[in-house]
Structure 1
Amino acid sequence: MFVANNEEYHCPVEALANILGKKWVANIIWSLSKDSKRFGELNRRMKGCSKKMLSQQLEILINSEIIDNEKEINNNQVESVYYLTPKGKSLLPTIEQMVLWGEKNLPCK
């Protein structure tokens, strides 16, 4: 059994597809590939994604241990910083291959 997003799967590919198949997940992971980002920075990068949807997608990635959230207190304000875990960084070659495949095989308008 494989578990992704609190659901059980018989196949690891199906489990991974359940996570990466969410609309904003791959974009979030790719946005965090170079460095950590605060929520507002991620929100600006995800054009068309509501704050609620972004929060839900981040929660899925945190629960899957793909990203982590570090809270910092600066001048009595809490800043939430998101970054890839080692598990999340190991997904980058897969996402890069998805990008290359899409560029080669899917028409762009």
Structure 2
Amino acid sequence: MYNIDSIMYGCPVEALSNILGKKWVAQIIWSIQDKSIRFGELQRRLDGCSKKMLTQQLEMLIENNIIINDKKTINNIVESTYYLSEAGILLLPIMSKMIKWSNDNLACGR
């Protein structure tokens, strides 16, 4: 069983689809695929995503071991950067294949 946001899923595909289908999640993962990024920079990349929504989605991705939050304290200031975990990196080829399949097969992509 897979527990995502207090909902139990018996199917791993359904559980992953639930995660990737949440608003902003795919864009968050795609935005940090190649480097670590600070919260403010990530929010600027996601035009229209509120601070509250970004925080909620990042927390859910951290909880599911897709993103890592690296916090460092420098002169009493907490600097927080986000990057993909090993599991998150393994999602990138899957997402690339999903993009290709969607472009090739979905009517809305034509």
- What pairs up with 1:92-103 in 2 under 5 angstroms? 92-103=92-103
Shifted more, 41-50 versus 94-103: the winner is 94-103
CA contact (8 A) 1:5 1:19 kept: no
TM-score, length-scaled by structure 2: 0.89
Gapped regions of structure 1 (runs ≥ 5): none
Which has more helix, going by share of residues?
Answer: 2
| 2:109 match: secondary structure | coil
Counterpart for residue 109 of structure 2: 107
- Residue deviations 1:41-73 (CA, integer Å, cap 9, x gap): 110011110000000000110110100101112
- Residue deviations 1:14-60 (CA, integer Å, cap 9, x gap): 10111001011111111111001000011001111000000000011
TM-score, length-scaled by structure 1: 0.90
Q: Distance in 2 between matches of 1:36 and 1:15?
A: 26
* Identity rate, percent: 56
Deviation at 1:94, TM superposition (A): 1.2
Superposed CA RMSD: 1.5
Gapped regions of structure 2 (runs ≥ 5): none
Aligned AA for 1:73? T
